[in-house]
C-alpha cells in the first residue's frame, strides 16, 4: 500500500503545471540552443548578422537542393536561426517559433541531409512538436500576454 501512495504522490508531482512548465522551459532552451549555435556558425565572428563567405558558399553548393535561390535561403535561414531561438528562450510566440523551426528541420531533412532523421532530426522534431502542442508553460512571456489580455 505504501508503494501505491508513493507512486500516486510522484505522479501528482510530475503532473503539476509547475513541473510541466519547468520541463517546457528545458525543452525551449534545448531547441533554442541547437538552432542558435547553428545560426552563430553562419556569421562572421564578432558580428551579429554578417553572413560569412563560407556560409554563402555552403548554400550555393551543399544546400543547393533547397527549392529557394541560395541568396534568399542563406538570409532566411540565418535570420530564422537567430530570431526563433531568442523567442523560444523568452517564451514569446512559442508555438509559432517552434512551428517555424519544425519547418526548417523538415526542409533540412528532405533537401539537405536525408539520412539524418535518426537520431538528429527526429529529436528536433519531437522538441518542436511538444512546444507546438503545449506552448511555453508558466515560465514564458506568452503566459503573461494571455493574462494581460484577459484583464
Q: Is residue 5 part of a domain?
A: no
**How high does pLDDT run on average in the chain?**
96
Asked whether residue 114 is domain-assigned, the answer is yes
At how many degrees (to 10) do helices 17-40 and 122-134 cross?
130
In a domain, 58, yes or no: yes
**Assigned domain for 88 exists:** yes
Q: Count how many Cα atoms sit within 13 Å of the Cα of residue 110 in the half-sphere of its side chain.
A: 8
Q: Give 63's DSSP letter.
A: T
The pTM (predicted TM-score) of the whole model is: 0.94
| In a domain? residue 104 | yes
Residues 6+ away with beta carbon under 8 Å from 135 = 24, 94, 95, 142
Q: Is residue 63 part of a domain?
A: yes
The residue range of the domain holding 43 is 18-150
Asked, for residue 100, whether it belongs to a domain, the answer is: yes
pLDDT of residue 147: 87
Nine cell digits for residue 126: 519531437
The enclosing H or E element of 128 equals helix 122-134
What gap in Å lies between CA 77 and CA 58, rounded to an integer? 12
127-149 pLDDT per residue, tens: 999 999 999 999 999 999 988 99
Is 92 within the bounds of a domain?
Answer: yes
- Number of separate domains in the chain: 1
State mean pLDDT over 110-130: 97
Amino acid at each position: 500500500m505504501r508503494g501505491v501512495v508513493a507512486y500516486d504522490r510522484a505522479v501528482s508531482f510530475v503532473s503539476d503545471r509547475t513541473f510541466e512548465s519547468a520541463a517546457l522551459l528545458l525543452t525551449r532552451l534545448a531547441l533554442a540552443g541547437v538552432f542558435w549555435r547553428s545560426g552563430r556558425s553562419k556569421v562572421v565572428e564578432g558580428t551579429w548578422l554578417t553572413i560569412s563567405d563560407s556560409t554563402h558558399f555552403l548554400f550555393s553548393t551543399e544546400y543547393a537542393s533547397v527549392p529557394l535561390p541560395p541568396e534568399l535561403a542563406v538570409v532566411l535561414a540565418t535570420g530564422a536561426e537567430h530570431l526563433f531561438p531568442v523567442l523560444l528562450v523568452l517564451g514569446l510566440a512559442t508555438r509559432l517559433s517552434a512551428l517555424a523551426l519544425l519547418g526548417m528541420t523538415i526542409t533540412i531533412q528532405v533537401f539537405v541531409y536525408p539520412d539524418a532523421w535518426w537520431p538528429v532530426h527526429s529529436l528536433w522534431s519531437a522538441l518542436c512538436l511538444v512546444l507546438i502542442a503545449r506552448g511555453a508553460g508558466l515560465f514564458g512571456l506568452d503566459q503573461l500576454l494571455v493574462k494581460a489580455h484577459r484583464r
